[in-house]
Structure 1
Amino acid sequence: MVMEHHLGFNYNPKYIRNFSIIAHIDHGKSTISDRLLQVTGTVPDREMQEQLLDDMELERERGITIKAHPVTMYYQAKDGNTYQFNFIDTPGHVDFSYEVSRSLSACEGALLIVDAAQGVQAQTLANVHLAVERDLEIVPILNKIDLPAADPEEAKKQIEEVIGLEAEDAILCSAKTGQGIEEILERILVDVPPPKEAEDETLKALVFDSHYDPYRGVMIYARVVSGEIKRGTQIKMMATDKAFEVLEVGIFSPDEKKVDILRPGEVGYVVANIKKTSDIKIGDTITSFRGGATDPLPGFKVIKPVVYAGIYPIDSSEFENVRDALVKLQLNDSALHVEQESSLALGFGFRCGFLGLLHLEITFERLQREFDLDIITTAPSVVYKVTLSKGEEKHIDNPAHYPDPATIEHVEEPWVVAHIMTPSDFLGPIMALGTEKRGTLDKTESMGGSRLLLTFRFPMNEIITDFNDKLKSVTRGYASFDYEFDKYEIGSIIKLEIRVNDEVVDAFSCLVHTTKAEAKGRAICKKLKEVIPRQQFKVPIQAAIGGKIVARETLSALSKNVTAKCYGGDITRKRKLWEKQKKGKKKMKEIGKVTIPQEAFMKVLKAEE
């Protein structure tokens, strides 16, 4: 006998509330979730630790949420009823905006948390728009009101002006001192509507996340919309058309807890002996195998990677380990795209696709930390659309596959719309940075106080390397930045090749905009001159576009003093020896190969950043 989900809670959809939290990095989202778990008694005090839901070491260290984590809480309200609260934690960063949109689809309401000292920031804006599009009820909350710098009135004004939400009765709370937490729970009861009643008995459930458990296969996180799921149900995934038998269903409190059945409006997990993560797509609809639904729930799309980079083991014997590690990461991260590739310089490795730069950084760090691997990544590149003169269209993410320029009609590059929030003192430096990155400023809005909201358009390949770092340094860390994909536009993109001793080195080749090619070529040549060891002969290091050399450095030869043995006498003796030496060098140059040491690759790839 499995007891009812919770003592005192009898299933009734009108006592269920599903909500998520929207906030900018470091506005106190994880701390507020901790307090909610404590107040509802979901986690006993002795098991409580800070940022309980961010269980990855990296999440705690950087103070960001990478993986969404749902929790079911039971709350005894002042009206005497017990309510079931399903809280779906969402990542805050723009790279994970598809996951955020799926998590929001599983909810009826959202808590908008704004730091009372900092006001509205860029990522808050992006995610609020996602919530408003889905008609969610939004409850504004001002956190950190215990700080001396807190200015709740100013923050309310910003919520009203920038986001356009009524903020008169925003809840004032401090997650640190626990003030206002009960008020949040009571407000959720009133403001967030219960789940809509199911139209019929057909099973429909939204997959909003998945997670790989080494013992039980893929666990699906689902929100049931209509119908019921229990052990033994034959289910079908609508996007992949795969069928499975359910072995177990349960809820998170916050650890997995088995229950008999998941009913409409509830959120929980489903285990169904699924071995491959590729069988589960986030945003997909689960229905029953026989007599299931004909139309899936709206909003599903296949996630496409935006940024590509090569990942290579430093020691080629580690190749298998890197492959295993990437496969394991893919199990928990369905958006990571991996394919094998090899390069003359770096040996065997993988070409990986990511949702954005933060995603790339996190994957890279997880490979180094969790799997203890020594790896190197090549410079990240975006996906270009190349139209050939025959009318055929190719998607190029790797400079090595770039077609012969003579056969190209035009190249299109992806552009993004970026929102930058900044104190108005820094407008000048940001404009200069924008121009350097080929951006155009679309509009400037004042946000009360002395803050501005700038809307820029940038080519994506300009902002994936170091834009964020540069923005933070020109604004002393005060600006926040957020971007979303806009569209492809025709641009003059060319391939820059680096040649050492007249041989092309593929690892350094990259696709760049015509205006940036020369400077980039120079920088790489200069760096290579410093890091390649000198040879017995002169080595030319060149950067070329098509057949044209745009930059060159010469690595001078190591030479031996052949005339040291000559005392005085006729100059012709010395000349003869020098001629002989010259011939030897020439011959050596013809047969000599320059091997570029591994460290040189590291240094140059780091230098480009």
Structure 2
Amino acid sequence: MPIENTRNFSIIAHIDHGKTTLSDRLLEFTKTITVREQQDQLLDAMDLERERGITIKAHPVCMNYKGRDGKDYKLNLLDTPGHVDFSYEVSRSLAACEGALLLIDASQGVEAQTVANLNLALQQNLHVIPVINKVDLPSADIEKCKRQLEDILQLPADEAVPASAKMGIGIEDILEAIVAFCPPPKDPGDGYLRASVFDSIFDPYRGVVSYVRVISGTIIRGQKVRLMASGNDSEIKDLGTFRPKMVPCEKLEAGDVGYIIANVKTTADVKIGDTLTESRKPAPEPLPGFKEIHPLVFSGIYPVSTDDFEALKLAVGKLQINDAAFTFMAESSAALGFGFRCGFLGLLHMEIVQERLRREFNMDVISTYPSVIYDVRKTDGTELQVDNPTFLPPANEIEEIREPIVKVDIMIPNENIGDVMQMVMDKRGVVNNTETLDDRRVLLHTVLPLNEILVDFNDKLKSITRGYGSMDYEHAGTQPAELVKMDILIASEPVDAFSCIVHRSKAESRGRQLCAKLKEVIPQQLFVVAIQAAIGGKIIARESISALRKDVTAKCYGGDISRKRKLLEKQKEGKKRMKSIGRVNIPQEAFIEVLKNN
């Protein structure tokens, strides 16, 4: 098929605006799948994706469509993950397209991630076609959506296609809009092979399967190719397109989207955004936009039973083969035994990895409190990156600690603006400015420390706004902060599993919470146990677990009081001696309980 009749497009939307449902309808309308193969969320392969209604791993698909003008077109849909944690993968998928369908829920209008995803598409110079979805809902307000398109997004409202993916309304109009407005791919025509790798998966039988978009040149079987970022050479063993299952073909030409299988054994060798070229005649420069993906959130993952360590090691190794952004290294803790320090793109990524460990590998795991990477400059001028409180140097050796910050755009109803601003300030954030979107909603542009939004920020936002608030964030460098390492001492012994890096202003309240929680879960001993939170040598919070007392006077019946006093004094001496030599064994359940609570 000539390159002029090829269209590469993507669907971008806020979470739950109907992206996956629309892709199902497009596949049905173009008869890419048979009636027998039809099922909801066809492109979402994981159980987890289906349950949560989110796309974690992108799935491209190639469709044939006969237009109203009688011509045959090849439409390549590049599905994208919807969550902000995977924004780099989204940007790489968009770089492989010439156009994008921007989906807007007719009942909810423009949301925070709608704006963020549109900006990503415009950065790649894509032609954006707005689609107003869910027009069949009683609460649908199409006129309001059209106003928002022009006022907030600066997109022409007359190009908007009204549709309902669920009911199949307007599907042909969407396909015609793609044919009419999406520009066909351009081939530079210089004879060099250039293909962008926008995703990869691991097949246990065939090795790494790379998803590619061919920009120029042709890929055929047996060809020797090179990945420009890693410099690895390999030979093409198999190639084909997605319909939506993998269908082998003879060659992939300029403008095509498909898969290649070369003799590559791990996904770590295939970097997303890399440029594939010919080994004998490599392209002079790689395609723009490639960058290494670095984890931003770190957490320790330990098996609940220490006997499961080897099984966990095997499980995280298999997960990393399929997910190059996930990193791990072995670490040990005096309290939790042997485990792994794992790096993730964000909190959703962390949640998904833990859930997959539980489901796919039947691993019972416990994770420590998530932390971020801090840049530490020591007094002797050396700089280091710290992701674990254990490795933080003593306070007298630290000149400055810098923490990562994020720009957060929060879209909320007007009546919640005061409460949300207060929450941002409580999280040490700054509201730079507010933007009125329409008569009901405002957009807050804020800057917050990343570690403050890690755990409960989104949950609190949803509860304050009764579910109507939405947020989107992007990384904005680092800033100096007054951070300290807080240790928890139990019977004067520091316990490394409970250590954390906190802002000095929040250390006392955090210390009190932890001490109170530990008092509930640590069993009583035969002597008084002090639980203390300390910064350096200064104690900032304390709780005491009272001693278990044996009734030594039970055998005394009447008689002189001095007998009872003598027995109590003897007990007191024994407890004093026990306190000086006694050790507190903290049960595993106590750690699990506290870490769950965090």
TM-score, length of structure 2 as denominator length? 0.99
**From 491, 500, 523, the counterpart of 2:490:** 500
Provide the rounded CA distance (Å) in 2 between the counterparts of 1:160 and 1:593: 69
Q: CA deviation at 1:105?
A: 0.3
Q: How does 1:248-259 map to 2 (within 5 A)?
A: 248-259=238-249
- 2:280 and 2:121 map into 1 onto residues whose CA distance is 34
* CA distance, structure 2, for counterparts of residue 173 and residue 508 of structure 1: 52
Letter in 1 for 2:410: I
Match of 2:192 in 1: 202
The amino acid that maps onto 1:209 is D
Describe the superposition over 1:27-68 as per-residue Cα deviations: whole angstroms up to 9, x where unpaired: 010010000000100001111000100111010111000011
Conserved? CA contact 1:314–1:374, under 8 Å: yes
Which residue among 515, 518, 522 is the counterpart of 1:525? 515
Alignment counterpart, residue 172 of structure 2, candidates 178, 182, 197: 182
Question: In structure 2, what is the equivalent of residue 4 of structure 1?
Answer: none
TM-superposed CA distance for 1:77, in Å, is 1.0
Select 1:482's aligned residue among 444, 448, 472: 472
* Structure-1 separation of matches of 2:143 and 2:322: 42
1:146 pairs, out of 136, 158, 168, with: 136
**Which of 363, 376, 385 pairs up with 1:373?**
363
1:247-292 CA distance string (max 9 Å, x none): 0010000000000000011000000121111111000001111121
- Asked if the contact 2:202/2:266 (under 8 Å) is kept, the reply is no
- Contact residue 75 and residue 82 of structure 1 kept, 8 A: yes
1:296 aligns to 2:309 (yes or no): no
Task: Tell me, in whole angstroms, the C-alpha distance in 2 between the residues paired with 1:75 and 1:539.
Answer: 74
The one-letter amino acid paired with 2:11 is I
Report the count of equivalent residues. 598
Aligned partners of 2:147 and 2:573: how far apart in 1? 80
Match of 1:166 among 153, 156, 162: 156
Task: State the distance in 1 between where 2:316 and 2:157 align.
Answer: 45
CA contact (8 A) 1:230 1:260 kept: yes
Aligned: 1:268 with 2:255 = no
Tell me which of 54, 61, 77 is aligned to 2:67: 77
1:127 to 112, 117, 128: 117
| Partner residue of 1:224 out of 214, 228, 251 | 214
Corresponding residue for 2:438?
448
**Structure 2 Cα separation of the partners of residues 360 and 100 of structure 1:** 18
Measured after TM superposition, the shift of residue 426 of structure 1 is: 1.1
Which of 210, 213, 222 is the matching residue for 2:203?
213
Deviations 1:531-585 (A, max 9, x none): 0010111100000001100000000110111112223333322222111111111
Q: Distance in 1 between matches of 2:154 and 2:501?
A: 42
Equivalent residue, structure 2, for 1:18:
8
Report the counterpart of residue 6 of structure 1 in structure 2.
none
Report the more deviating stretch, 201-210 or 162-171.
Answer: 162-171
Question: What amino acid maps onto 1:128 in structure 2?
Answer: L
Q: Paired residue for 2:126, among 133, 136, 157?
A: 136
Report 1:354-369 matches (<5 A): 354-369=344-359
| Structure 2 equivalent of residue 468 of structure 1 | 458
Specify the alignment match of 1:95 in structure 2: 85
Which SS does the other structure have where 2:384 is aligned? strand
Counterpart AA for 2:167: T
1:418-447 deviation per Cα after TM superposition (whole angstroms, max 9, x unaligned): 011111111121112111111111111111
Do 1:210 and 1:220's aligned partners in 2 also have CA atoms closer than 8 Å? yes
1:325 aligns with 2:315: yes
* Counterpart Cα distance in 2 of 1:384 and 1:25: 31
Aligned to 2:338: 348
1:372, distance to aligned residue in structure 2 (A): 1.1
Conserved in 2, the CA contact under 8 Å of 1:498 and 1:541?
A: yes
Partner of residue 401 from structure 1, selected from 379, 391, 412: 391
Give the superposition deviation at 1:590: 2.4
Alpha-carbon distance between aligned partners in 2 of 1:280 and 1:584, rounded to the nearest angstrom:
66
Partners of 1:13 and 1:194 within 8 A in 2? yes
Q: Which residue of 2 aligns with 1:579?
A: 569
Contact 2:129 2:159 in 1 (8 A): no
1:564 maps to: 554
Instruction: Tell me the CA shift for residue 140 of structure 1.
Output: 0.3
Check if 1:599 corresponds to 2:586. Answer: no
Q: How far, CA to CA, are the matches of 1:47 and 1:320 in structure 2?
A: 39
Q: Output the CA distance in 2 between the equivalents of 1:122 and 1:62.
A: 20
Q: Is the contact made by 1:384 and 1:397 (CA closer than 8 Å) also made in structure 2?
A: yes
CA–CA distance in 2 between the matches of 1:403 and 1:302? 28
Deviation at 1:449, TM superposition (A): 3.0
Of 366, 382, 394, 1:392 maps to 382
**1:551 maps to which residue?**
541
Q: Aligned partners of 1:254 and 1:310: how far apart in 2?
A: 37
- Distance, in Å, in 1 between the alignment partners of 2:408 and 2:244 is 36
Secondary structure of the residue that 2:152 maps to in structure 1?
Answer: helix
Report how far residue 21 of structure 1 moved.
Answer: 0.5
> Aligned with 1:321: secondary structure?
helix
Q: For 1:100 and 1:262, locate their aligned partners in 2 and report how far apart those are by CA, in whole Å.
A: 23
Q: Who is 1:33 aligned against? A: 23
> Shift of residue 323 of structure 1?
1.3
Q: Do the aligned residues in 2 keep the contact of 1:198 with 1:264 (CA within 8 Å)?
A: no
Root-mean-square deviation (Å): 0.9
Matched, 1:243 2:243: no
Q: Is the 8 A contact 2:201 2:322 kept in 1?
A: yes
The CA distance in 2 between the partners of 1:221 and 1:176, in whole Å, is: 29
Q: CA deviation at 1:164?
A: 1.6
1:57 maps to 2:47: yes
Task: Out of 381-390 and 569-578, give the one that drifted further.
Answer: 569-578
5+ unaligned residues in a row in structure 2: which ranges?
A: none
Q: Secondary structure at the match of 2:230?
A: coil
Structure 2 residue 99 is matched with structure 1 residue 104: no
Q: CA deviation at 1:591?
A: 2.4
The letter for the 1-side match of 2:138 is: P
Please say if residues 102 and 130 of structure 2, whose CA atoms lie closer than 8 Å, have aligned partners that are also in contact. yes
What is the alpha-carbon distance in structure 2 between the residues aligned to residue 603 and residue 436 of structure 1?
26
CA distances 1:119-150 after superposition (whole Å, capped 9, x unpaired): 01111111111110111000000000000000
Bigger mean CA offset, 288-297 vs 539-548: 288-297
- Are the aligned partners of 1:13 and 1:195 in contact in 2 as well (CA < 8 Å)? yes
Q: 1:289 & 1:582 partners in 2: Cα distance?
A: 82
Query: Which string of whole-angstrom CA distances, capped at 9 and with x for unpartnered residues, describes residues 478-536 of structure 1?
Result: 10111111110000000000011111110010000001100000000000000001011
Task: Measure how far apart 1:169 and its partner are.
Answer: 2.6
Instruction: Please give the alpha-carbon distance, in whole angstroms, between the structure 2 residues aligned to 1:189 and 1:168.
Output: 17
**Of 392-401 and 574-583, the range deviating more from structure 2:** 574-583
Amino acid at match of 2:61: V
Which structure 1 residue ranges, 4+ long, deviate > 4 Å from structure 2?
A: none
